[in-house]
Structure 1
């Protein structure tokens, strides 16, 4: 559903920025009705042809009639969720365009809570069907929790399907390249697994665990920054306010760097204790911890580029440009495959992680260069000063966190999860205090901006305007 939001928000926000709210809602209802028709048809087809779909995706189930029947029934239960997930994505994009982020941010939490509750309370009676029912119920609740916020906008359903409008064509024109770019940027999940399948047993798991841990700060903090800035970028692009757009992107890059750089350094120096704390038990022994930690250390070097890409792709989408991110994604795939071939033999699974880090960094540089050229600069002087302060503060943080973890590991009685948790929490806390202290001493401008945001003295919409 990410491709839908990415192609819808720029057009919808642009109409709002130009005081054409009536046309904006006409577009929203056109997209909604198109979703209902398309996803309704797909859901119905999945329910009717469930056995054929399961056999196509997992041919091995065909040898067992019982397994095929079970999988088909599960698919039939979950298929209608596609409709509600589509509506939920459109609702979130609409609310974000009005600078309403709180309710859409609860969607993932509500989904997880309902899924867990369904498994806990229904699994004993319904077995695996509990998970499927929980998934469907969660998708329905995603719509229900966002509905009150939309009703405050005087929402009323309209049976509109104006596919010939220029606005609908603009969404469609963006959607396909956005969808392809999104799929291409996630290709490492397939490519790296393919290469890892030829390595020692466990290599795929090492990469999966390391990537999930490394992505955590991005999928929480950095993604939130990019999501909040996206409607503002879209409005500024729609009103052709290039100076404001440039300032917003520059500020976004600096704030993302302030999160991603210390996360990168922290995950690098604490990779082993973090992986040991999270995964080392049972069959996952010390050797697996070392192997996964090495992959995490390799992935950590790419966190800054991964974080910047979240903002850069949205900057191009705000400009109604889906082709530049698509081209950058194709460059990413070419570099990823080429580097995998070169690095997998000497470095095994760590080489695959390094390949991803290098490829995603190249992708970020390609988009950064293209955006800089299009906007005739990105306030490079301010970016360089900010990056220098952030990097030096992160180095101080990394040294402090490493010494803290080393000292505690040597002095505390080891062997228990409580000890491991103590080491990681204290090391992260010491590192965070050192990082913030170093930024304050360096008089980083972004600290003052973040402080004002937290205190509510300035809105996200005003930040870039004041940051000149």
Structure 2
């Protein structure tokens, strides 16, 4: 199998597994919305759930993966597997110690941590107590998540993507089952217990694949090795950059905690819907390309690196631009279909849909950031993303202060969209300067074709949804599913049709990669 086809197949496997995980993630959100609505209980759970997840995302999936994979992949590329695994065991042991201490701190100081994230909870003793109890249940999951994340990074370095891509699916299936079977007896605590159990299962499903590649665990902590120092040198700036870049998860909840009850839930549901195309197709592209980018950077093949990034930007735009238009046009019917049942009423639907419309404008920037950040990390540059992230957080706070009063929770979504777009522009400009160009002419032509196709798609989807909405008026879920499904189908056909008529090069490249008619090197040559 050619290298190009192998990458395309890997991206396809990751996409399918990730999409399945996201579908069950939505099932989880739908079950929570049905059982508890946009209530004080739901707000408390979201805040408690966010705390261990953001620590995991920043430290493991973000900073550690970004600093560990380039070094680990570089060692494998240079046939030094023994040193690579000594590094992996060192990082694992350090992670266990650090996360053990963090878990202990979270359990002891749970109320104080909750108030840092959502100070508005201080006016409600019951909500603060509930969020603190939920946090204490979920905090130990950090240890399992840390091990799972390191396993995933190691397997990805071996170009094994299938098993790590299943962890989200396993987590969400277990959480959905826990809520369905335990919520009546345990209330919102069922979701917290499900999360803890699911985190352990993430480790168990990856263990067999990892053991095939190496002997079991070794108690080594070689912090003085040059490889460990290389990881540490990149880790801190990456962590700082990601902390700033993901600060919206804390900043928006901080402001929203002072708004009406349910505002945190509105933003959470809207962001989850908006993130679906990014966390499936776009994330798959970025995840699969990262080890390739790391190897190209390690071997100083800058021309191939530049071509890979340029193609990645164009393909991501080809996915994110229509997703942005589609979610804006169909925000209300999509939210109504997914969440409006049980305790989640029409008022919550409108509030969530308006937030989704505001978030939709930032999808292109969010998708590009996934690739741009990894591109800098492949170059062992954590400083540039840090600077861009600092611009993001300063701008986000300023915009939230200005927009929250006139627009409430929608203002927070708009502030995020503007700030993340500026961050993407800053990084794109810096990367263009670093690589002495990114084939700007080809990028502009591709973006123009993609935008034209997306506009045609949006108009077609809007007219289809409007017509069917009036024709099938009745409020049943089948009618809502028909409206959304047909509108998306019509829009997708129009989008692809315009791209084919416009002879979009990316369509041809993807088709040839999948068919195996060209290799990864030929793609680079075709795009040079």
Shift of 1:342: 3.1
Equivalent in 324, 341, 360 of residue 300 of structure 1 = 360
Equivalent in 278, 287, 290 of residue 347 of structure 2 = 287
Shift of 1:375: 0.7
- Cα separation, 2, equivalents of 1:367 and 1:457: 33
Name the stretch that deviates more: 197-206 or 274-283.
197-206
Describe how 1:380-459 pairs up with structure 2 within 5 A.
Answer: 380-455=440-515
Shift of 1:272: 2.0
Deviations 1:176-199 (A, max 9, x none): 222222221222233334444555
Aligned to 1:27: 87
Deviations 1:106-128 (A, max 9, x none): 01111122233345556678777
Deviations 1:287-338 (A, max 9, x none): 5433432322221111100110111111111111111111111101111122
SS of residue in 1 equivalent to 2:367: helix
Name the stretch that deviates more: 75-84 or 369-378.
75-84
Deviations 1:434-461 (A, max 9, x none): 1111111111121122224444556779
**CA 1:359 to 1:45, structure 2 compared with 1: closer, same or farther past 3 Å?**
closer
Say if 1:18 and 1:239, in contact at 8 Å, map to a contact too. Answer: no
Aligned to 2:17: none
Name the stretch that deviates more: 191-200 or 4-13.
191-200
Name the stretch that deviates more: 147-156 or 322-331.
147-156
Say if 1:232 and 1:461, in contact at 8 Å, map to a contact too. Answer: no
Name the stretch that deviates more: 46-55 or 79-88.
46-55
- Cα separation, 1, equivalents of 2:123 and 2:473: 53
**CA 1:41 to 1:340, structure 2 compared with 1: closer, same or farther past 3 Å?**
closer
Say if 1:229 and 1:460, in contact at 8 Å, map to a contact too. Answer: no
Say if 1:449 and 1:463, in contact at 8 Å, map to a contact too. Answer: yes
- Cα separation, 2, equivalents of 1:21 and 1:180: 30
- Cα separation, 1, equivalents of 2:88 and 2:210: 12
Shift of 1:399: 1.1
**CA 1:38 to 1:398, structure 2 compared with 1: closer, same or farther past 3 Å?**
same
1:76 matched to 2:165: no
- Higher gyration radius (CA): 1
Say if 2:117 and 2:253, in contact at 8 Å, map to a contact too. Answer: no
Larger relative contact order (C-alpha < 8 A, sep ≥ 6)? 2
- Cα separation, 2, equivalents of 1:189 and 1:345: 19
Shift of 1:236: 0.9
Shift of 1:147: 1.8
**CA 1:246 to 1:411, structure 2 compared with 1: closer, same or farther past 3 Å?**
same
Q: Give TM-score scaled by structure 2 length.
A: 0.79
- Cα separation, 2, equivalents of 1:36 and 1:230: 25
Aligned to 1:140: 200
SS of residue in 1 equivalent to 2:163: helix
Say if 1:280 and 1:289, in contact at 8 Å, map to a contact too. Answer: yes
Deviations 1:164-222 (A, max 9, x none): 11211111122222222222122223333444455555544433332221112112221
Deviations 1:17-63 (A, max 9, x none): 23322221221111122223333444466678889989999999999
Say if 1:228 and 1:460, in contact at 8 Å, map to a contact too. Answer: no
**CA 1:205 to 1:171, structure 2 compared with 1: closer, same or farther past 3 Å?**
same
- Cα separation, 2, equivalents of 1:23 and 1:337: 44
- Cα separation, 2, equivalents of 1:459 and 1:254: 18
Name the stretch that deviates more: 248-257 or 342-351.
342-351
**CA 1:66 to 1:462, structure 2 compared with 1: closer, same or farther past 3 Å?**
same
Say if 1:18 and 1:238, in contact at 8 Å, map to a contact too. Answer: no
Shift of 1:344: 3.5
**CA 1:246 to 1:45, structure 2 compared with 1: closer, same or farther past 3 Å?**
same
- Cα separation, 1, equivalents of 2:359 and 2:135: 35
SS of residue in 2 equivalent to 1:56: helix
**CA 1:266 to 1:56, structure 2 compared with 1: closer, same or farther past 3 Å?**
closer
Say if 2:117 and 2:250, in contact at 8 Å, map to a contact too. Answer: no
- Cα separation, 2, equivalents of 1:293 and 1:133: 30
SS of residue in 2 equivalent to 1:99: coil
**CA 1:155 to 1:257, structure 2 compared with 1: closer, same or farther past 3 Å?**
farther
- Cα separation, 2, equivalents of 1:187 and 1:410: 41
Say if 2:175 and 2:191, in contact at 8 Å, map to a contact too. Answer: yes
Shift of 1:385: 1.2
Say if 1:2 and 1:89, in contact at 8 Å, map to a contact too. Answer: no
SS of residue in 2 equivalent to 1:102: coil
Deviations 1:56-91 (A, max 9, x none): 999999999999999998767655433221111111
- Cα separation, 2, equivalents of 1:392 and 1:70: 49
**CA 1:145 to 1:67, structure 2 compared with 1: closer, same or farther past 3 Å?**
same
Q: How many residues align?
A: 468
- Cα separation, 2, equivalents of 1:327 and 1:352: 22
Shift of 1:462: 7.4
- Cα separation, 2, equivalents of 1:23 and 1:465: 34
SS of residue in 2 equivalent to 1:106: helix
